[in-house]
Amino acid sequence: MDQKESTRPKLSRESLREALKIFAFVKPYRWQFIAGLVLLFLSSTVFLVFPKIIGQMLDVAQGLSPNVDLWQIGMWLVGVLVFQAVVSYFRVLMFAEVSEKGTADIRVALYKRLISQPIVFFEKSRVGELVSRVTNDVEKLYNTFYFILAEFIRQIIILIGGIGVLLIMSPRLAGVMLATFPLIVIGAMAFGRWVRKLSKERQDQLGQSNTILDETLQSIHAVKAFTNELFESRRYAKSNDSVVRVSMRYAKGRAVFSVFIITMLFGALFFVIGYGMYMVQTGQITAGQLISFVTYTAIIGGAIAGLGNFYTELVGAVGATERVREILNSQSEAEKRPANQRVVGHLRGDVSFNNVHFAYPTRSDVEVLKGVSFDIPSGKKVALVGQSGAGKSTLMQLLLQFHFPDQGQILVDGHAIDNYDLESYRQNFAIVPQEVILFGGTIRENILYGKPEATEAEIVAAAQKANAWDFIRTFPEGLETIVGERGIKLSGGQRQRIAIARAILRDPAILLLDEATSSLDAESEKTVQDALNNLMEGRTSIIIAHRLATIRDVDCIFVLEGGRIVEQGTHEELSALHNGVYSSLAKLQFEPVLG
The verdict on residue 524 lying in a domain is no
Q: Region 307-318: what's the mean pLDDT?
A: 69
The verdict on residue 200 lying in a domain is yes
What pLDDT, on the 0 to 100 scale, is given for residue 354? 92
Report pLDDT digits (tens) over 171-199: 887 787 777 767 777 777 777 777 778 87
What pLDDT, on the 0 to 100 scale, is given for residue 14? 65
pLDDT at 326 over 70: yes
In this structure, what DSSP letter does residue 419 have? G
User: Same structural domain for residues 191 and 237?
Assistant: yes
User: Same structural domain for residues 419 and 361?
Assistant: yes
User: Same structural domain for residues 346 and 227?
Assistant: no
CATH number at residue 374: 3.40.50.300
The verdict on residue 62 lying in a domain is yes
Domain boundaries, position 141: 14-167+313-336
The 10 Å Cβ neighbour count of residue 255 is 11
Which of 39-48, 205-214, 543-552 has the least mean pLDDT?
A: 543-552
pLDDT at 102 over 80: yes
Those residues with Cβ within 8 angstroms of residue 123's Cβ, 6 or more apart along the chain or in another chain: 360, 361, 362
- For the chain, give the mean pLDDT: 79
Give me the number of domains the chain comprises.
3
CATH number at residue 138: 1.20.1560.10
User: Same structural domain for residues 141 and 178?
Assistant: no
The verdict on residue 300 lying in a domain is no
The answer to whether residues 432 and 512 touch, using CB atoms and an 8 Å cutoff, is: yes
- 304: Cα separation from own chain's centroid: 34
Sheet (strand 556-561) strand order:
429-432, 510-514, 540-544, 381-385, 556-561, 564-569
Q: What share of the chain is helix, strand, coil (3-state, %, to 5)?
A: 65, 10, 25
d(CA 520, CA 96): 52
Provide DSSP, 562-587.
TTEEEEEE-HHHHHTSTT-HHHHHHH
User: Same structural domain for residues 417 and 566?
Assistant: yes
User: Same structural domain for residues 322 and 362?
Assistant: no
User: Same structural domain for residues 131 and 219?
Assistant: no
Query: pLDDT confidence of 2, banded at 50, 70, 90?
Result: very low
What pLDDT, on the 0 to 100 scale, is given for residue 357? 92
Which of 110-124, 440-454, 461-475, 581-595 has the least mean pLDDT?
A: 581-595
pLDDT at 143 over 70: yes
pTM: 0.68
User: Same structural domain for residues 117 and 242?
Assistant: no
Packing angle between helix 287-328 and helix 149-169, nearest 10 degrees?
A: 150
User: Same structural domain for residues 387 and 246?
Assistant: no
User: Same structural domain for residues 46 and 136?
Assistant: yes
The verdict on residue 74 lying in a domain is yes
The verdict on residue 302 lying in a domain is no
pLDDT at 60 over 70: yes
Q: Region 61-89: what's the mean pLDDT?
A: 79
The verdict on residue 419 lying in a domain is yes
**Strand 381-385 to strand 540-544: parallel, antiparallel, or no bridges (unpaired)?**
parallel
In this structure, what DSSP letter does residue 350 have? -
User: Same structural domain for residues 358 and 328?
Assistant: no
pLDDT at 293 over 50: yes
d(CA 386, CA 288): 92
The verdict on residue 5 lying in a domain is no
User: Same structural domain for residues 156 and 175?
Assistant: no
